[in-house]
A and B are shown apart, each in its own frame.
Chain A
Amino acid sequence: DVKVTQSSRYLVKRTGEKVFLECVQDMDHENMFWYRQDPGLGLRLIYFSYDVKMKEKGDIPEGYSVSREKKERFSLILESASTNQTSMYLCASRIGQGPRETQYFGPGTRLLVL
């Protein structure tokens, strides 16, 4: 089975802190994604990566950055956390694209910024 793990299930941070969210997949997938999930808004794409050291902005990249130094690991960075970044963060890896794609999701990290 494909496994996508996220470093924390719950995280509490203070405004202005630098926050790292880690995601690791064990299936050698090239594509990885970071989403945030908010009630009534569904999943919104923050960033995605289609290969090591490659990244593309999604729909809501402001206030976030990412790092992909190794194929299996995709990190989301909140440079200076703000209260409006309180949310559930979901990481996914993907095999294939378009007609052949399937995304595999991690369990999520629920982040509270005080």
Chain B
Amino acid sequence: AQSVTQLGSHVSVSEGALVLLRCNYSSSVPPYLFWYVQYPNQGLQLLLKYTTGATLVKGINGFEAEFKKSETSFHLTKPSAHMSDAAEYFCAVSGLSGGSYIPTFGRGTSLIVHP
């Protein structure tokens, strides 16, 4: 069975500081990995995804994530946090089950950005 673990339910950074949100996964090979963002009172939207190929994936709003197979990790980073980045972030893995790909989400990490 596939699973996702997000380390830290809350991460607090100062504006301009590095953002690092951690995600570890358990999945059959190959893993298809996703990061979604949820702004207050909205649904989720896709930030970026890893499928195959380059292990460093660039997404929207300056975020990127690196797939590390040896560490079973897919951590999300941004060099410089903005106030507008304050949101809930979800890591997800999609794996094959009964002929369909089924997504499994982590518990989410709330990013707090201080001025």
Interface residues of A (CB under 8 A from B): 4, 31, 33, 35, 40-45, 48, 50, 56, 58, 90, 92, 97-103, 105-108
Residues A97 and B101 in contact, CB atoms below 8 Å apart: yes
With A56-B98, A101-B94 as contacts: A42 and B46 at CB distance below 8 Å = no
Chain B residues in the interface with A (C-beta under 8 A): 6, 9, 32, 36, 41-46, 49, 51-52, 90, 94, 96, 98, 100-108
Assess the B101–A41 pair: CB atoms within 8 A. Answer: no
**Whole-angstrom distance between the alpha carbons of A43 and B108 in the complex?**
8
Cβ-defined partner of B107 (8 Å) among A33, A41, A108: A41
A43 and B101 contact, CB distance less than 8 A: no
**Would A90 and B43 be within 8 Å (CB), given that A97-B101, A101-B94 are in contact?**
yes
8 nearest CB pairs, A to B? A105-B43, A99-B51, A42-B107, A97-B101, A43-B105, A105-B44, A98-B101, A42-B108
B21 to chain A, nearest CB (A): 13
Nearest A-chain residue to B46, judged by Cβ:
A102
Cβ-defined partner of B105 (8 Å) among A42, A102, A107, A108: A42
